[in-house]
Structure 1
Amino acid sequence: MDIHHLKYFVVLSEELHFGRAAQRLHMAQPPLSQRIKDLEKELGVLLFHRRRTGVELSEAGALLLEHARNVLDNVAMAQESMRRIRPGASGILQVAVPPDTNPRALEAMVSSFASAAPDVLLNLHELTTVEQVERLRDGELDVAVVRHPLSSVGFESGPVASKALGVVLNASHPLAALSSVRLGDLSGNPLIIFPRHMAPPLYDSFLQTCRDAGYLPAAIVHARNQHFTHGLIMAGRGVHFNEEPWTPLPDGIVWRPLVGDPLAWRTSALWLKSRRSAETDAFVEAVRAGLAAGGHG
């Protein structure tokens, strides 16, 4: 039984409404509903009665709630105990970066932090923006490297660095013959983009910028993995926005800058004020150095 599933269950038990619970958890409603269904399937019981106006705890749900709260309280106490005994300069820093972080940027972050805090173990995680924010709030991360825009209420942020994005096209596409591409000229092409649940504000911002520039995609295709994305482009299934490649692209696809740089990765470190320490300050500075090494300005 996943500890996160228990947390979702408790929040829904308190709100008795999927929409309010999802908002409180900083996640979309469909994945919350799915995780509750997964928990019910695992336990073999119905935890909630679904109503038009919300949900009600079932008898099994009420029984689980008593146990779940105790489990979460004990986990929180264990985490706090570990934080208290963490020996500062010889402790562990839990950090996370986006799945598509530029390798040069990541290498520079790790090297810079190792130089500044050689006795601190850096435990790196590859997480989406939604996962990063959730785990920061839960105290499972000390610092996250996030993409903006996002809701940063309750957090502190380092300097936001920007890196312009271009478009990845099939080499036979008519626009591939140009040295740069106007965003509006892509209208009618399917767009290959990360799933919305990974970073809802960023996803919405991308699509709004496309609409404002006159790019109306013929379809939206969701892809997480770079190889899958490249395969779709090679098959002529759409175009994709990303930063300039740091290694050669596969034969059959090309990258072109966008005129006026309308799209960009806007990235910074993010942390809870209550978790700030000399170690987190050192990593925030390492993030700045890493982003600069990765071409962010």
Structure 2
Amino acid sequence: MELRHLRYFVMVAEELHFGRAAERLHMAQPPLSQRIRDLERELGVRLFDRNPHRVSLTEAGALLLEHARGVLERADAAREAMRRIRPGESGVLRAGVPPDTTPMALRTLVAGFTARIPDVLLELHELTTASQLAKLRAEELDAGLVRHPCDTVGLESSEVVHRRLGVVLPAGHRAAQQGEVRLRTLDGSALVIFPREMAPQLYDHMLEACRDNGFLPSAIRHARNPHFVHGLVMSGLGAHLNEEPYDELPAGLVWRPIDEPRLTWSTSAVWLPVQGGEVVAAFAAAALAGLREVGHT
């Protein structure tokens, strides 16, 4: 039995409504219902009586609620005790950021967080969206900065900010002459994109948007290091979708906006509900300020 399943159960028991409970947990209703069914199967009892008009606790559910609240209170107290003995006068905030976060965004993030919470050490980790989500759920991170779409079931999230993507091309590519590139004019070109395991849902979303606009890549090449990406594009081995570059591109490459608004970096801060509070709120505010500094809206 996992603590998060008990948290889900307590939330439904307090609301007696799966929809409202799912809203408070910042997750969709079907996964919440499935987690409760999983818990009932594990315990071998029915915890809720359900009908189209109301949800009520069974006798077993009422008994579990008494125990679950005590377990969760003790778990929260233990977690808070561990937080207080971390290095630093008031602790450490372990936070993940995307590998391609720009220097200006990081500078604004760190300065903003330090100004708000000067007695907490900010420990930043360069991690992909998938790695951040895994470490958050394993409680190896306190907060993250992730790209959407992604699976944030069971996590709380800040506002999502967006930045439109464009395409990096060799200067001699036929589409480089367009002020705004129509994706269909890239049809037949290869695509250079990050490996799928870095952010699976975002990867699939980007390929779907390309297909919907008539861009069917002749090949897909994976790269994560900017120098390698630019080397592939410069060699004529593919086009690369990304935000407008922070630094000047190497000679022979150009960046052009594209005609598909669905292709954006959509980013938010995320954290486990039990790890929320003033420190995480300060990180989220500073992170969004950093992103806005470099063009996210």
TM-score with structure 2 setting the length: 0.71
Q: 1-side partners of 2:150 and 2:254: how far apart?
A: 30
1:214 aligns with 2:214: yes
Greater gyration radius: 2
The Cα of 1:79 is off from its aligned counterpart by 7.8
What letter matches 1:216 in structure 2? Answer: L
Describe the SS at the equivalent of 2:261. Answer: coil
The Cα of 1:133 is off from its aligned counterpart by 0.4
The corresponding residue for 2:178 is: 178
Give the gaps of 5 or more residues in structure 1. 1-77
Q: 1-side partners of 2:102 and 2:236: how far apart?
A: 25
The Cα of 1:291 is off from its aligned counterpart by 1.4
The Cα of 1:262 is off from its aligned counterpart by 3.6
The Cα of 1:261 is off from its aligned counterpart by 3.0
- Say which is worse superposed, 238-247 or 257-266, in terms of deviation: 257-266
The Cα of 1:119 is off from its aligned counterpart by 1.4
Is this contact kept in 2: 1:146–1:270, CA < 8 A?
yes
Is this contact kept in 2: 1:169–1:240, CA < 8 A?
yes
Is this contact kept in 2: 1:89–1:117, CA < 8 A?
no
The corresponding residue for 1:279 is: 279
Is this contact kept in 1: 2:83–2:91, CA < 8 A?
no
What letter matches 1:199 in structure 2? Answer: A
The corresponding residue for 2:253 is: 253
The corresponding residue for 1:117 is: 117
RMSD: 1.7
What letter matches 2:141 in structure 1? Answer: L
What letter matches 1:174 in structure 2? Answer: R
What letter matches 2:138 in structure 1? Answer: D
Q: 2-side partners of 1:90 and 1:80: how far apart?
A: 11
Alignment of 1:1-297 (within 5 A): 82-86=82-86, 90-297=90-297
The Cα of 1:246 is off from its aligned counterpart by 1.4
Aligned length: 220
Q: 2-side partners of 1:195 and 1:133: how far apart?
A: 16
Is this contact kept in 1: 2:88–2:119, CA < 8 A?
no
1:41-81 CA distance string (max 9 Å, x none): xxxxxxxxxxxxxxxxxxxxxxxxxxxxxxxxxxxxx9876
1:89/1:283 CA distance change after superposition, 3 Å: farther
Is this contact kept in 1: 2:88–2:121, CA < 8 A?
no
1:223-270 CA distance string (max 9 Å, x none): 010000000011000000010011110001100001243410000000
Q: 2-side partners of 1:86 and 1:229: how far apart?
A: 39
Give the gaps of 5 or more residues in structure 2. 1-77
Is this contact kept in 2: 1:97–1:127, CA < 8 A?
yes
- Say which is worse superposed, 204-213 or 98-107, in terms of deviation: 98-107
